[in-house]
C-alpha cells in the first residue's frame, strides 16, 4: 500500500508540474505544442537520470525510484496529449508540423534518456 501511495503522490505532483509548464508554452507557439514537447523531453531526461542513479550502487531506494520515476515522471510526461495533438494536426492537414513534432519528440526523447543515464554516471 505504501508503494501505491508513493506513485499516487508523485503522479499528482508531476501532473501539476506538467500543467504549469506546458499550458503557457502551448499557447505561445501555435500548432507546434512546445509545452508538451518540453515536458516530455524533460521527463525523458529525468527518468534516464533517476534510473541511472537507481542502477548504480543503489543510490536510490526502490521507494524513491518508484516515487520519482513512476510517480513524478509518469504524471509529468504525457503520451495521451502527444497522441491527441498528432490527431489534431492530421485532421487539420498540417503534415509538416506533424512530422517535425513527432520526429523531434521521438528523437529528442531517446537522446534525453541517454543523456540522463550519462549524467547519472557523475554522481556518487
Provide the annotated binding site for Na(+).
74, 77
Binding residue numbers: 74, 77
C-alpha distances in Å from residue 119, one per residue of 2, 6, 7, 20, 52:
29, 25, 24, 26, 8
Which grid coordinates are listed for 77? 510526461
Q: What is the spatial distance between Cα 56 and Cα 78, in angstroms, rounded to a whole number?
A: 27
Q: Report the half-sphere exposure of 83 (CA within 13 A, side-chain side).
A: 3
Amino acid at each position: 500500500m505504501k508503494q501505491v501511495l508513493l506513485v499516487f503522490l508523485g503522479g499528482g505532483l508531476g501532473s501539476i508540474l506538467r500543467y504549469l509548464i506546458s499550458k503557457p508554452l502551448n499557447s505561445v507557439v501555435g500548432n507546434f505544442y512546445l509545452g508538451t514537447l518540453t515536458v516530455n523531453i524533460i521527463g525523458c531526461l529525468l527518468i534516464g537520470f533517476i534510473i541511472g542513479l537507481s542502477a548504480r550502487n543503489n543510490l536510490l531506494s526502490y521507494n524513491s525510484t518508484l516515487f520519482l520515476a513512476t510517480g513524478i515522471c509518469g504524471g509529468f510526461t504525457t503520451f495521451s496529449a502527444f497522441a491527441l495533438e498528432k490527431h489534431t494536426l492530421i485532421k487539420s492537414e498540417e503534415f509538416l508540423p506533424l512530422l517535425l513534432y513527432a520526429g523531434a519528440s521521438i528523437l529528442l526523447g531517446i537522446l534525453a534518456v541517454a543523456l540522463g543515464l550519462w549524467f547519472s554516471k557523475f554522481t556518487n
